[in-house]
Amino acid sequence: MKKVNFFNYYNRIRDDDNVLFSYKGVVNDTVLMEMCEDIRQKLGIEEVQNRKIFSVFIELVQNQIYYAADQYIADNATKEAVGLIILSESEGVFSFTTGNLIKENDLFELRKKLDYLNSLSYQELRMYKREQRLEASEDDQESGAGIGLIKSILTSGNPLHIDYIKIEDDLYFFTLTSIISGTKK
């Protein structure tokens, strides 16, 4: 078993953009609610910004759950996503980053979707969100990650930033970051 130097890990996180919260492990709805409560207790911020942060946080983590290729098989044989989640803050600007393994075909589908969404203006995003909701209700299906990504961009007022590194033939490590300013409405 490889020995982990936790002091080096601690120093990297401590010195990196004022990390308030860091988690690596199974990501499911129960863990998500626990993380929300932990973050809520740590942040002493105004209600509007609080709502923005939690709205974006939930959407990004749900996206992570949806696309994660690395999965833990629980005792009841259900598969649960595994990923990394970091919340940092600097001068009233919050940054959420999720990281997880993703299959190549999912990555390119998601990248194409994000490139398109990031190219739209605020008004175009609002119209596109309405269209997607109508299509989802007409098909009587869930919309997948699309509406959540749109909500994240609209709520934060900023584009989503993506990055990825190839790990194996069909596998990448994917990060998705949202920046939330305390001064934007």
Tell whether 91 is covered by a domain: yes
Q: What is the pLDDT of residue 145?
A: 45
Q: Are 180 and 153 in contact (CB under 8 A)?
A: no
pLDDT in tens, the chain (185 residues): 566 666 776 776 666 658 888 888 888 888 888 888 887 777 766 666 677 888 898 899 988 888 888 877 767 667 788 899 998 888 888 899 999 999 999 999 999 999 999 999 999 999 999 998 888 766 544 544 488 999 999 999 999 999 999 999 999 999 999 999 864 43
- Residue 1 within any structural domain of the chain: no
Closest CA to 155 of 51, 69, 82: 51
What is the reported pLDDT for 50?
75
Helix 29-42 and helix 47-67, axial crossing angle in degrees, nearest 10: 150
pLDDT at 60: 92
Domain residue limits at 170? 6-181
Q: What is the pLDDT of residue 164?
A: 94
| pLDDT of 15 | 67
Residue 147 lies in a domain: yes
Residue 163 token pair: 């990055």
SS3 for 46?
Answer: coil
Find, among 58, 61, 53, 73, the residue nearest to 27 by Cα. 61
Count of CB atoms situated within 10 Å of the CB of 17: 14
pLDDT attached to residue 45: 63
Domain assignment present for residue 155? The answer is yes
> Does residue 15 belong to any structural domain of this protein?
yes
In a domain, 151, yes or no: yes
β-sheet bridge partners, residue 180: 94
* Residue 170, domain CATH: 3.30.565.10
Tokens of 159: 């584009």
Q: What is the pLDDT of residue 43?
A: 75
How many independent structural domains does the chain possess?
Answer: 1
